[in-house]
Amino acid sequence: MKFVDEAKIFVKGGHGGAGCVSFRREKFVPKGGPDGGDGGKGGDVIFRASKSHHTLLDLKYQQHQVAKNGGHGSGNNRTGRSAVDLEVIVPPGTVVKDYETGEILADLSELGQTFIVAKGGIGGKGNAHFKTSTHQTPRFAQEGMDGEERWLKMELKLLADVGLVGFPNAGKSTFISRVSAARPKIADYPFTTLTPHLGVVKYADAPSFVVADIPGLIAGAHEGLGMGIQFLRHVERTALLVHLIDISQDPHTNAWKNFTALTLELESYNPQLLAKAQIVCLNKIDLPAVREKVKKSVAQFQKKGIILHPFSAATGEGLQDILGKIVTLLNNT
């Protein structure tokens, strides 16, 4: 399934039914009074969060969501039928914004949560409502009201407990494939992950948690370089960030330089991301070039008051310690 996390759509509530102009026509009642019924209410457009949907793909190709109109009133004081509401299914984590103003209208972060994005119009009153002692034969009725309409911007923020962040080829996909049943694409070239992936992790007797593998950043991503920061919204909801650092590709870099460059991109996108609980991990210690720098890297981070966790996603060395740390931090958040 194609992963789509943004969509622009038009929503419109149904038009209210028109009131009726009618007069009683019965035997032995030569001058029956007005009996025009009211129009029915137009349908609402309602968004509902459901786990049956995982992306905004449906809305990407069905941009117009219009509810049905209410039925017209009729004689004998019969009210028109109210239209059925139009329910639109969206994945949990969907943020609904007004396209023109950018105002957040709803954040559907829980299963079953609903929000009326466009209310249907009220039906018009029939001429029976306008009868008075001085005007006993009103020959007019109200038209139904228009339903609300607007353009919306939809954004999906994945619901995950842990977000993996790092530069391309840092080993995020290998990490998530090691600890969960998720099977993202893994290769030895940059940007193998083009869409976020979720994996459910079960460690020891602790409750299972969800890990999100976010496509890699590069230095200057906040300025639009590489894939930019289009996927960082998916770590905004996470309780914990896991930084995966890779120093195997550039002999002139070091773990601290890699870490500071990564945190700069996160801060440029949203400074609040750095306030989250974080774990910093040095990957690929199975490679000789990396292993010989482990002690120096750990000491460098220790001077900054940060614990660096060396491990290898490929062999699994040190992975259990990281999972234990993740569980501990999640339990404390």
Domain identity same for 62 and 101: yes
Could you tell me which residues are beta bridge partners of residue 242? 164, 279
Residue 4 has a pLDDT of 76
Domain identity same for 149 and 171: no
Domain identity same for 53 and 101: yes
Domain identity same for 241 and 263: yes
Is the model's pLDDT at 196 over the cut of 80? no
Cα atoms in the Cβ-side hemisphere of radius 13 Å centred on 326: 29
Q: Which of 124, 156, 188 is the last residue of a domain?
A: 156
Rounded Cα distance, 333 and 98, in Å: 32
Find the mean pLDDT for residues 64-78: 95
Find the mean pLDDT for residues 97-101: 94
pLDDT in tens, 263-292: 888 888 888 888 899 999 999 999 998 898
The DSSP code for 197 is E
Domain identity same for 72 and 210: no
Residue 271 is part of a domain; what is its CATH number?
3.40.50.300
Domain identity same for 93 and 196: no
Q: Which of 130, 156, 182 is the last residue of a domain?
A: 156
Q: What is the domain count for the chain?
A: 2
Tell me the residue range of the domain where 23 lies.
1-156
Tell me the average pLDDT of the chain: 85
Domain identity same for 191 and 123: no
Residue 2 is part of a domain; what is its CATH number?
2.70.210.12
Is the model's pLDDT at 206 over the cut of 70? yes
Alpha-carbon dihedral sign for residues 184, 176, 214, 107: positive
Domain identity same for 199 and 322: yes
Q: Picking from 215-219, 242-246, 301-305, which range would have the lowest pLDDT averaged per residue? A: 215-219
Q: Which of 128, 156, 184 is the last residue of a domain?
A: 156
Domain identity same for 282 and 266: yes
| Closest C-alpha among 91, 71, 73, 90 to residue 82 | 71
Residue 186 has a pLDDT of 42
Q: Picking from 124-128, 172-176, 178-182, which range would have the lowest pLDDT averaged per residue? A: 178-182
Domain identity same for 87 and 234: no
Residue 2 has a pLDDT of 57
pLDDT in tens, 23-70: 988 777 777 789 999 999 999 999 999 988 888 888 888 999 999 999
Residue 203 — very low, low, confident or very high, per pLDDT cuts 50/70/90?
Answer: confident
Domain identity same for 233 and 129: no
Domain identity same for 144 and 202: no
